[in-house]
Structure 1
Amino acid sequence: MRILWVVNTIFPSLSLSLGLQPPMSGSWMYGLAEKISEHNDIKLTVVTVYNGKEILEKKIDGIDYILIPMKNKKMWGEVFDQVKPQLVHIHGSEFSYGLDLIEQRPEGKYVLSIQGLVSVCADYYLAGLSIKDVIKNITLRDLLKNDNLFQARNKFKKRGVAEKKYFSKVDAILGRTDWDRAHAWALNQNVPYYHCDEMLRKEFYTDEKWSYENCEKNSIFISAANYPLKGFYQVLKAANLVKKTCPDLRIYVAGHKVCGDGTLKSELKLSGYGLYIKKLIRKYKLDQNVIFLGVLTAEQMKERYLKSHIFICPSSIENGSNSVSEAQILGVPVIASYVGGVTSTISHKKTGFLYEYGDYSVLASYMTQFFDKRIDLEFLSSEAIIEARKRHSSDIIIESYYEIIKKVMS
C-alpha cells in the first residue's frame, strides 16, 4: 500500500540530517509515521516544501522523504507520478500545498486531517484586543514587514479562503473533536468524516508522573504565547489578581520569546503584540514572576510540565490542544478556556477545569484554589491520566487509521 503524506513541516529526523533546526510543531505526525513505517504492507512517503531549488530525496528509518522547492508548484504533479500513491493524506488545511497537488492530479484519492482551521481562527485572532490596543503598540518591525496585528489577521483570512476549497475536493476528512466535526460538516455536508485521535510525542509515553510533593508550588506553565490567539495576556491579568495573595507566583512560558531577549537586535524585531505584553508585565509589576524559557525540546517540555503546579491553556480558540493532552497524560492539573475542541478533551472538574475565555477573574479564582489545594488535585491528575492514555493509545490510533484508509480506498 503506497501512501503519500503532504505535510507543512520538515520532519525532525530529516531536519537533523540536513543540519536544520527541528520544528516544534507537528509532533502528532511523527509518532504515527514511525509506527506506520514498522509495517511492511505500507510504503510511506512524506513530502513538503523547502527553500531549495531542486527536489531533494532521502530515506530515513524506512520513510521516504521528498522536499519540493517552495516556488515550483509544478513539481507536485511530478512527485505524484513518481510515488504513484494509492492514497494521499494531507495533514492540515492551513496551507495550500495539498491543493496544488489535487489541482494537478485530481484523479488521486485524498484524505484531509484537520489540525486547526484558519478560516475559523481568523475570527478569534485578536482574542479580545481592542483597536486602541493594536494601534498604540504598532512597532517599527510591524511597519517594515507590513505585519501589524490587523494585517496578520488578514493573512489568516486570506489563507482561510484557500482552506475552504479543500472540503469540496477531498474524499474524506479526519478529525478528533466535536468542534472540527461541526465545522467540517458546515463546509461540506457530503464528505465523509472519520474520528481518529492523534499520537503524542514519544517522550510523553512514560511512567514518570506529576506529583504535588515534587512540583514547584505556585507555578504555572504556558506552552505558547507568541500571538494574541494564545491568550497569554489574559493570564497576566489573572496573575495581577493572584499575586496579591501569592507573591511568589511563577509563570513559565515556552516557545518563541514574544518580548525578545533584551538585546538591541530583538528590540528592533519586537512585534506589536510583544510590546503590548511587555507593557502589561511592567504595568502589573510581574517582571520577577514571568520567565520566558524559549523553544524547548520534547524532553525539556516534559520536565517543565512535571515541575509545574498547574498547566494553563488560555487560548481564544483551539481545536484539540496537544499541550493539554501532554499535560494530562503526565497528570499535571489543567485549567483551560472553554473554547473549540478543548471541551472534547477536558471534562470539567474531572480531568481539568474550564472557564469562559476572557473571564480572567474566574481563571484567577481557579488558580488560587489549585494553589491552596481547595481542589482535589490528585483526583484531577489520576482521572486525566486515565482518559489521556485511552485517547492517545498508539495501538488504538494505528488500528483506527488502518480501518479509515481502507474504507477510503475501497
Structure 2
Amino acid sequence: MNLLWLAAVPHPLKSGGGHPVPWVTSLAHKLVEKGDANITILSYNPYVAQDEEVVHKGIKYVFIKVPEDKRDVLRAFSGRIKRVQNYLKDVGNEYDLMHIHGAEQQYHVIGANVKIPKVLSAQGFTREYYKHLPKRPEYRHLAWLVAGYYEKRFMPTVKHFICRTHWDKSVVRTMQPKAVIHHNWELLRPEFYTAIQPATDREPNAVLFVGGDNYIKGISEALQTVDMLRKKIPIRLIVTGSGSKQSLLKLVDKLSLHNIKPDDIEHRGMLSAAQLWDTYHEAFCLLHPSYIDNSPNSVCEAQLAGLPVVASDVGGVSSLVKSYETGLLTSLNVADIAEAVEQLWQNTSLRNTLARQAREISLERFDQQQIVDITESIYQEVLANP
C-alpha cells in the first residue's frame, strides 16, 4: 500500500525543529518494517532553507518551505496552505490513501482537494483549547482562533476518523455528524513499557509535573497544591518541560505562596524518554491538573511505567484514568487536588494498587502489535468505503 501521511514532524536528520511526535514516527516505522506499506510523510516547515526530500529508515520525508507562523497568521495561514496544496496537485493522486495526523495545523485543509481515500487521527482540538487560554492577549489567541475556524470549516471534508477517548469522539461528531469513527490507541515511547522499580533505600518524596511552565497544563495548580501540602508533609516538586526555575519562582511570588521554598522546586528542562523514566523513581505520583486534554501522553506513559497518576477530570482524561482503579481524578480546585496527592503520600498500599492496575491495563491498551494491526485494518475499511 502506498501511503501519504500529512503530519507535523521534525526533520529526522537535524536536531531541534519541533515536537518529536513519537506516536507518529513509531507507527510509521512499525508499518514499514512489516513490508506491506510504503510511507511518505509530508510536512510543512518554515525553517528549512528550501523544499527538501530525505529518506530515513525506509520512510520518505518531504518538507515544504513555508512562511513563518507569526507572519502567515496575518493571512489566515494561507501561505502554508497554498504552498503545500500546490505540491500535492502534482503528486497527491499517486497514493492509495492519505492519513492526516491532527486537525490543529490545517493538514486536513491542505489535503481537502486530493481525491483519494482519507482518514484523520484526532489529536487535540484548537477550538476547545482556545477556551482555556489566559485572558491576556497573546499570539496564540489569534493563531488558535484561525486554526479553530479551519477545524470547523473543513472537518466535514473528512469521512473517516481515528479516535481514542469518549471526548474526541464527541467533538468529532459535533463538527462532522456523518463521521465514521474508528477506535485505536497510539504507540508510546518504548522506554515506558519497562516498569519502574520502587526504591528500597528511600521513600520517593517528589510530585512530578511534566507540563513545564504551561498555564493550560496546570502549573499554577501544581505549585499551589505543593504549597498547601508543605504545611504538613515534606514533599517537593519536580518540573520538566518548558520554562526555568526562575520562571517558576516568579510564579510562586505572583501567587503569593509562602510554604514552598526555592529548594523545594526543581526544574529539569526537556528530558529524553530515558531521563524521564529515571525521574519517575524519585516521585510518588505524576500530577496532571490540566485545564483541557484529550489523551495526554504524559499520563499514558506514567500509567504504563507504573507511576501513580493524579489528574483533572477534563476532556478525554477519564477514558484513561478510572478513579481509585487506575489513578485518582480530581476537579481543578486546589483543595481537591491536594487531598488526592496527600492520599497517595499517606497510603502506600493505594499507591501500589493503582500503579499495578494501571500498568496491567496499559500493557493491553498500548500493545504495539495490536495498534499496528488495528491501523492496517482501519486502512482496509477506509479503502472499502471511501
Query: Is TM > 0.5 for Structure 1 vs Structure 2?
Result: yes
What is the alpha-carbon distance in structure 2 between the residues aligned to residue 334 and residue 215 of structure 1? 20
Q: 1:231 to 1:215 in 2, by over 3 A?
A: farther
Q: Deviation of residue 173 (structure 1)?
A: 0.9
What is the alpha-carbon distance in structure 2 between the residues aligned to residue 119 and residue 369 of structure 1? 35
What is the alpha-carbon distance in structure 2 between the residues aligned to residue 245 and residue 170 of structure 1? 53
Q: Determine if contact 2:10/2:20 at 8 Å carries over to the other structure.
A: no
Q: 1:375 to 1:304 in 2, by over 3 A?
A: same
Secondary structure at the residue paired with 1:5? strand
Alignment of 1:10-409 (within 5 A): 10=10, 14=12, 17-18=13-14, 20-21=15-16, 23-50=18-45, 51-71=47-67, 73-79=82-88, 81-82=90-91, 84-103=94-113, 105=114, 107-126=115-134, 134=136, 148-149=137-138, 151-206=139-194, 208-211=195-198, 213=200, 217-246=204-233, 248-257=234-243, 260=244, 275-276=250-251, 279-280=254-255, 283-357=258-332, 359-373=333-347, 376-409=350-383
Query: Amino acid of the residue matched to residue 98 of structure 2?
Result: V
Q: Deviation of residue 254 (structure 1)?
A: 0.8
Partner of 1:3: 3
Q: Deviation of residue 97 (structure 1)?
A: 3.3
Q: Determine if contact 2:313/2:330 at 8 Å carries over to the other structure.
A: yes
Secondary structure at the residue paired with 1:67? strand
What is the alpha-carbon distance in structure 1 between the residues aligned to residue 99 and residue 249 of structure 2? 36
Query: Amino acid of the residue matched to residue 397 of structure 1?
Result: I
Q: Determine if contact 2:230/2:260 at 8 Å carries over to the other structure.
A: no
Q: Deviation of residue 25 (structure 1)?
A: 4.6
Q: 1:383 to 1:285 in 2, by over 3 A?
A: closer
Secondary structure at the residue paired with 1:4? strand
Q: Aligned pairs, how many?
A: 369
Q: 1:216 to 1:120 in 2, by over 3 A?
A: same
What is the alpha-carbon distance in structure 2 between the residues aligned to residue 172 and residue 22 of structure 1? 30
Q: Give the alignment's TM-score, normalised by structure 1.
A: 0.84
Q: 1:67 to 1:185 in 2, by over 3 A?
A: same
Query: Amino acid of the residue matched to residue 34 of structure 2?
Result: H
Query: Amino acid of the residue matched to residue 233 of structure 1?
Result: S
Q: Determine if contact 2:44/2:84 at 8 Å carries over to the other structure.
A: no
Partner of 1:265: none
Query: Amino acid of the residue matched to residue 395 of structure 1?
Result: Q
Q: 1:108 to 1:283 in 2, by over 3 A?
A: farther
Q: Compare 114-123 and 67-76 and name the one that shifted more.
A: 67-76
Gaps of 5+ in 1: 135-147, 263-269
CA RMSD for the aligned pairs?
2.2
Q: Deviation of residue 166 (structure 1)?
A: 3.3
Gaps of 5+ in 2: 68-79
Q: Deviation of residue 366 (structure 1)?
A: 1.6
